Amino acid sequence: MVDHLTYRTSWSPEDGEHVAVCVEFPSLSWLARTPDKASAGIRRLVTDVLAEMLVNGETPPDLPSGRG
């Protein structure tokens, strides 16, 4: 499911690092020195959050149209 979500990585001048976000989880982000490490970090974080949501009986966000 994590691979079906929308991710973006960009440079953050304020932080001096790359920041990766997941569109479906706007409150989550991951900072790293390289875009690849930022991307890997946000994917791990989203995986952990989704697993915790399922354990707690919470419903994950809807996938974008056509991806489910």
**In the chain, how many domains are there?**
1
Average pLDDT value over all residues in the chain: 90
Evaluate whether residue 24 is within a structural domain.
yes
State pTM to two decimals.
Answer: 0.85
| Confidence (pLDDT) at 2 | 81
| Confidence (pLDDT) at 62 | 72
pLDDT digits (tens, 9 = 90+) for 47-65: 999 999 999 999 887 755 4
> Residue 30: which pLDDT band, with cuts at 50, 70 and 90?
very high
Evaluate whether residue 34 is within a structural domain.
yes
Evaluate whether residue 49 is within a structural domain.
yes
Give Cα separations from 40 to 9, 11, 25, 55, 65 (angstroms).
10, 15, 15, 23, 24
Evaluate whether residue 67 is within a structural domain.
no
Evaluate whether residue 60 is within a structural domain.
no
- Domain holding 46, by residue range, is 2-55
Q: Tell me which H or E stretch contains 48.
A: helix 35-55
Alpha-carbon distance of 23 to 55, in angstroms, equals 22
Evaluate whether residue 40 is within a structural domain.
yes
